[in-house]
A and B are shown apart, each in its own frame.
Chain A
C-alpha cells in the first residue's frame, strides 16, 4: 500500500494488480469529480453562449488549455489544440501540414520502434503525395544507432519519433533529433504519449515542431488528447475538420477560419474531459516528476531483478532499468503471450499481450509469433505488487503444462 491508492477508486480494494499503465492509467477521484462537476455546475455548450453557464464552461475549457501549455512549456495556450488522443493529433498534422508541405520525392523519416499511430498517418501521406518513408532502425535496446541519423538529410520533410517507445520504454534523444532535423529544414513530430506521464517534457527545450499526447495515459479521461505546434506552423496550416465554431465568417461560397487554436477544433468540444485532464495535470504536478521518475526507477529495477531470477523469462530492451520508463516487455519461453496474460488474469493481474500496436518493431525484434507480454508500471504501483506479480509469473509455465 502507499498513500496514492486511496485516491484511485479502481485500485482501492487492492484486489487487482494493474500493470497495464502504458495502455491507459487509472484515474484519481479528482479527475472523475472534475468531470462530474463540469456537467453539474456549468453544462452548456462552450465558446458559444452569452450566459453564465456557457461562460463558465468556456472558462473551464480554456483553463485546461492553459494548464496543458504550462505542463509542456508551450509559449502560449493558443499553441495547444485539443483532440481526441495522440493518434488524432498526429493524423491532424499529416492531413494538414503534411498534405500542404510534403511533395513527390520528399522523405519522411520514421523510427522503426514507433506505435502504429506514428506510422500509418505517414504511410498514408507518403502514398498520397509520392513521398518516401525512410526508417530509422533501432538497436535491440531500443536506441537509435548513431549511423542511422545520416538518413535524415536534404530530402527529409518530416521526422516522426516517439520520445519513449511504448514497447521498450527507452527514451529517445529528441532534442538531438530535432537539431538534426532542423539542420535540414525538416519538421519534427514527437509522439509524447509515453513520455508525458513519466518525465518533464518541455517543448521549448526540445525545440519540437509538433508534439502529441493522450490524456488517458496521464491519469486524465479517455477521449481528450493534445497537439502542440509551433505558432508559425499552426498559422499556415489549413483546418483539419470543418464545421461549427472553427470559422471567422461563412458565406454560401466560402469561409474564413477562426484564430488559433479554434481553427482546429470543429464542432462542440470535449470541455468536460478537458476539465478532467486539468485535474489530472494538477494531480501529476502534486506528485511531481521527480517522485515519478524515482518510483519508476525503483519499481522497474525491482521488477527486472526479480524477473531475471525466474527461469525461461526473456526481457527485451535495455538491460538498464533506468532506461525503461516503467515498461518491461518480455516473453515466457514456449508460452504464447496471450496464454500468459490469460493465466495471470485468473490471479487478477492485468498485463498486456500482443503486438502493442508496433508490428514493424515486433518484426525487427524477431520475437516468436510477433507477440510479447508487457508489464507497465506507474507511480501508484507498489513493491508488494511487484513481488506478487513475479511470484505468479514464476508459476505460469507450469500452469501451461511445462515441468516447473
Chain B
C-alpha cells in the first residue's frame, strides 16, 4: 500500500471522523502522551474493570497518523483484557519497527494498514504514540493498585 493509499483508505477516515475522540465518563486511568518534536498530543482515557478495558477514548491534536492510530487502537482494545491489549501493543510496536510476523500483523485488523510507516522513520513516533501511551497507562494503573 503506498502512502497516499494508506491515507485515503484508512488514516483520513479515522482522523477526520474518529469514533473514540471524546471524553470517557469516570475513567480509571488518564494519561497524556506527547511527541514534543511534532506537537502530537493525546490524552488517553481508559475505563478498566476487573482487568478488562470496558471503555476508552482520547482527545488531543496532532498529525493524521498519530490521531488515526489512536482511534484504530481503541477500536481494537476496547473489550479486551489488559493482558491482551498489551499483547496487541507489543505486536503493533514491533510491526512499526518491521519486526512482526504476517500472522501477528493480521491480528491488528485495520491498524495493520499502518505497517508501511515502518519505512518512514520520521513518522514512526506518530504511529506509536497511542500504543505507547496505552502501555504506560496500563502499567501506571497497575503500579498504583
Contact, CB under 8 Å: B63 / A336: yes
Closest residue on chain B to residue A341 by CB atoms:
B122
Q: Is A369 an interface residue (CB 8 A)?
A: yes
Q: Is B29 an interface residue (CB 8 A)?
A: no
> Which of chain B's residues have a CB closer than 8 A to the CB of A400?
7, 12, 15, 64
Enumerate A350-404 residues with CB–CB distance to B below 8 Å: 354-355, 368-371, 399-402
Most buried by A among B8, B16, B63, B120: B63
Contact, CB under 8 Å: B3 / A342: yes
Q: Is A346 an interface residue (CB 8 A)?
A: yes
> Which of chain A's residues have a CB closer than 8 A to the CB of B37?
354-355
Per a CB cutoff under 8 Å, which of A346, A355, A401 touches B2? Answer: A346
Q: Is A106 an interface residue (CB 8 A)?
A: no
1/0 per position for B80-124, CB-CB distance to A under 8 A?
A: 000000000000000000000000000000000000000010110
Most buried by B among A335, A369, A401: A401
Closest residue on chain A to residue B61 by CB atoms:
A369
Q: Is A63 an interface residue (CB 8 A)?
A: no
Per a CB cutoff under 8 Å, which of A342, A343, A345, A369 touches B39? Answer: A369
Contact, CB under 8 Å: B38 / A401: no
Given contacts A338-B126, A401-B13, A401-B16, contact A346 B64 (CB under 8 A): no
A346 to B119, CA, bound (A): 13
1/0 per position for A114-147, CB-CB distance to B under 8 A?
A: 0000000000000000000000000000000000
Contact, CB under 8 Å: B7 / A401: yes
Contact, CB under 8 Å: B38 / A354: yes
Q: Is A282 an interface residue (CB 8 A)?
A: no
Closest residue on chain B to residue A335 by CB atoms:
B64
Secondary structure at the A interface, as helix, strand, loop or mixed, is helix
A339 to B2, CA, bound (A): 14
Contact, CB under 8 Å: A339 / B63: yes
A346 to B3, CA, bound (A): 7
Contact, CB under 8 Å: B4 / A338: no
Contact, CB under 8 Å: B3 / A371: no
A345 to B37, CA, bound (A): 19
Could you count the A-B residue pairs with CB atoms below 8 Å apart for me: how many are there?
58
Given contacts A338-B38, A371-B38, contact A399 B4 (CB under 8 A): yes
> Which of chain A's residues have a CB closer than 8 A to the CB of B79?
none
A336 to B122, CA, bound (A): 14
Contact, CB under 8 Å: A343 / B126: no
Interface bin, chain A: 10 to 19
A229 to B64, CA, bound (A): 46
> Which of chain A's residues have a CB closer than 8 A to the CB of B15?
400-401
Per a CB cutoff under 8 Å, which of A345, A369, A399 touches B62? Answer: A369
A354 to B37, CA, bound (A): 7
From residue A34, how far is it (CB to closest CB) to chain B in Å?
32
A342 to B64, CA, bound (A): 11
Contact, CB under 8 Å: B39 / A339: no
A339 to B6, CA, bound (A): 12
From residue B85, how far is it (CB to closest CB) to chain A in Å?
27
Given contacts A370-B39, A399-B4, contact A342 B120 (CB under 8 A): yes
Enumerate A309-362 residues with CB–CB distance to B below 8 Å: 335-339, 342-343, 345-346, 354-355
Contact, CB under 8 Å: A343 / B7: yes
A293 to B123, CA, bound (A): 36
> Which of chain B's residues have a CB closer than 8 A to the CB of A370?
39
From residue A402, how far is it (CB to closest CB) to chain B in Å?
8
Closest residue on chain B to residue A336 by CB atoms:
B63
Closest residue on chain A to residue B3 by CB atoms:
A346
Enumerate B1-42 residues with CB–CB distance to A below 8 Å: 2-4, 7-8, 11-13, 15-16, 37-41
A291 to B122, CA, bound (A): 36
Closest residue on chain A to residue B13 by CB atoms:
A401
Q: Is B73 an interface residue (CB 8 A)?
A: no
Contact, CB under 8 Å: A338 / B7: no
8 closest residue pairs by CB, A with B: A401-B12, A336-B63, A369-B39, A338-B63, A339-B64, A370-B39, A401-B16, A371-B39
Which residues of A are interface residues toward B (Cβ below 8 A)?
335-339, 342-343, 345-346, 354-355, 368-371, 399-402
Which residues of B are interface residues toward A (Cβ below 8 A)?
2-4, 7-8, 11-13, 15-16, 37-41, 61-65, 120, 122-123, 126
Starting from the known contacts A342-B3, A343-B4, 12 additional A-B residue pairs (CB-CB under 8 Å) come to A337-B63, A338-B65, A339-B7, A342-B123, A369-B41, A369-B62, A399-B4, A399-B8, A400-B15, A400-B64, A401-B12, A401-B16
